[in-house]
Chains A and B, each alone.
Chain A
Amino acid sequence: MASTRRRKGDSRMIRYIVLGSWALFCLAPVLWFLSIGFRPRTEIITPQPIYFPTFSLDAWHMIWSDWPMAAYLRNSVLAILGSVVIDLVLAIPAAYSLARFRYRGREDIGFYILSTRMMAPAIVAIPIFFLFRNMGLLDTIWALMLIYAAINLSVVTWIIRSYMLDIPKELEDAARTDGASDLRILWEIIIPACLPGIITAGVIAAIFAINEFLFTLLIASTKNAYTMSVALANFTGGSDGVIYNAIALVAFLAFVPVFVVVVAIQKHLSRGLTMGAVKG
Chain B
Amino acid sequence: MARIELSGIQKRWGAVWGVRDVNIDIADEELIVFLGPSGCGKTTTMRMIAGLEDPTEGEVRMDGEVMNDIDARDRDVAMVFQGYALYPNMSIYENIRFPLRMRDVPKSEHDRLVREAADMVELGDFLDRKPGALSGGQRQRAALARAIVRQPQVFLMDEPLSNLDAKLRQAMRVQIKHLQRQLKITTVYVTHDQIEAMTLADRIVIMEGGLIQQIGTPDEIYSDPANTFVAGFIGAPPMNLIEGRIQSGTFVSDGITLPGTGITDRDSVTLGVRPEDCSVADSGHLAGQVYGVEPTGDQTFLTLRIGARLIEVKADRDYRSDLDVTETVAFDPGRLYFFDTGSGQRIR
CB distance from A136 to the nearest CB of B (A): 43
Verify if A170 is at the interface (C-beta below 8 Å from B). Answer: yes
CB distance from B209 to the nearest CB of A (A): 25
| Contact partners of A277 in chain B: CB under 8 A | 83-88, 131
CB distance from A173 to the nearest CB of B (A): 5
Instruction: Assess A275 versus B132: contact at CB under 8 Å? Given A173-B81, A177-B73.
Output: yes
Verify if A78 is at the interface (C-beta below 8 Å from B). Answer: no
Are B134 and A168 neighbours in the complex by a CB distance under 8 Å?
no
0/1 interface trace, chain A 170-205, chain B, CB 8 Å (1 if under): 110111111111001000110011010000000000
Are A279 and B85 neighbours in the complex by a CB distance under 8 Å?
no
Are B84 and A177 neighbours in the complex by a CB distance under 8 Å?
no
Give the residue of A175, A192, A278 whose beta carbon is less than 8 angstroms from that of B89.
A192
Verify if A274 is at the interface (C-beta below 8 Å from B). Answer: yes
Are B86 and A168 neighbours in the complex by a CB distance under 8 Å?
no
0/1 interface trace, chain A 36-54, chain B, CB 8 Å (1 if under): 0000000000000000000
Question: Which B-chain residue is minimally distant from A178 (CB atoms)?
Answer: B99
0/1 interface trace, chain B 142-182, chain A, CB 8 Å (1 if under): 00001000000000100000010000000000000000000
| Contact partners of A179 in chain B: CB under 8 A | 73-74, 99, 102-103
Are B73 and A276 neighbours in the complex by a CB distance under 8 Å?
no
Are B88 and A279 neighbours in the complex by a CB distance under 8 Å?
no
Are B85 and A174 neighbours in the complex by a CB distance under 8 Å?
yes
Instruction: Assess A276 versus B85: contact at CB under 8 Å? Given A173-B79, A177-B77.
Output: no
Give the residue of A177, A273, A274 whose beta carbon is less than 8 angstroms from that of B79.
A177
| Contact partners of B82 in chain A: CB under 8 A | 170
Q: How far is the CA of A184 from the CA of B103 in the complex (A)?
A: 12
Q: How far is the CA of A174 from the CA of B52 in the complex (A)?
A: 10
| Contact partners of A273 in chain B: CB under 8 A | 88-89
Q: How far is the CA of A61 from the CA of B50 in the complex (A)?
A: 70
Verify if B139 is at the interface (C-beta below 8 Å from A). Answer: yes
Question: Which B-chain residue is minimally distant from A192 (CB atoms)?
Answer: B89
Are B52 and A178 neighbours in the complex by a CB distance under 8 Å?
no
Are A276 and B131 neighbours in the complex by a CB distance under 8 Å?
yes
Are A175 and B50 neighbours in the complex by a CB distance under 8 Å?
no
Are B50 and A177 neighbours in the complex by a CB distance under 8 Å?
yes
0/1 interface trace, chain B 123-147, chain A, CB 8 Å (1 if under): 0000000111110100100000010
Are B73 and A278 neighbours in the complex by a CB distance under 8 Å?
no
Are B52 and A177 neighbours in the complex by a CB distance under 8 Å?
yes
Verify if B98 is at the interface (C-beta below 8 Å from A). Answer: yes
Instruction: Assess A170 versus B85: contact at CB under 8 Å? Given A177-B72, A177-B77.
Output: yes
| Contact partners of B163 in chain A: CB under 8 A | 279
| Contact partners of B47 in chain A: CB under 8 A | 173
Are B86 and A175 neighbours in the complex by a CB distance under 8 Å?
no
Are B130 and A176 neighbours in the complex by a CB distance under 8 Å?
no
Instruction: Assess A276 versus B88: contact at CB under 8 Å? Given A175-B98, A179-B73.
Output: yes
Q: How far is the CA of A184 from the CA of B134 in the complex (A)?
A: 26
Q: How far is the CA of A277 from the CA of B82 in the complex (A)?
A: 11
| Contact partners of B73 in chain A: CB under 8 A | 176-181
Are A176 and B86 neighbours in the complex by a CB distance under 8 Å?
no
Q: How far is the CA of A189 from the CA of B102 in the complex (A)?
A: 13
Give the residue of B78, B84, B88, B136 whose beta carbon is less than 8 angstroms from that of A178.
B78
Q: How far is the CA of A188 from the CA of B163 in the complex (A)?
A: 26
Interface residues of B (CB under 8 A from A): 47, 50-52, 71-75, 77-79, 81-89, 98-99, 102-103, 130-134, 136, 139, 146, 156, 163
- Please list 25 pairs of residues, one from A and one from B, whose beta carbons are closer than 8 Å in the complex, sorted by A's number: A168-B83, A170-B82, A171-B87, A173-B50, A173-B85, A174-B81, A176-B52, A177-B75, A178-B102, A178-B146, A179-B74, A180-B98, A181-B73, A184-B102, A188-B98, A192-B87, A195-B89, A274-B88, A276-B88, A276-B132, A276-B133, A276-B134, A277-B84, A277-B86, A277-B131
In the A-B complex, the 4 residue pairs with the smallest Cβ-Cβ separation, listed nearest first, are A276-B132, A278-B83, A179-B102, A192-B89
List 6 extra interface pairs beyond A179-B99, A181-B73, CB under 8 A: A168-B85, A173-B52, A176-B72, A177-B156, A279-B136, A279-B139
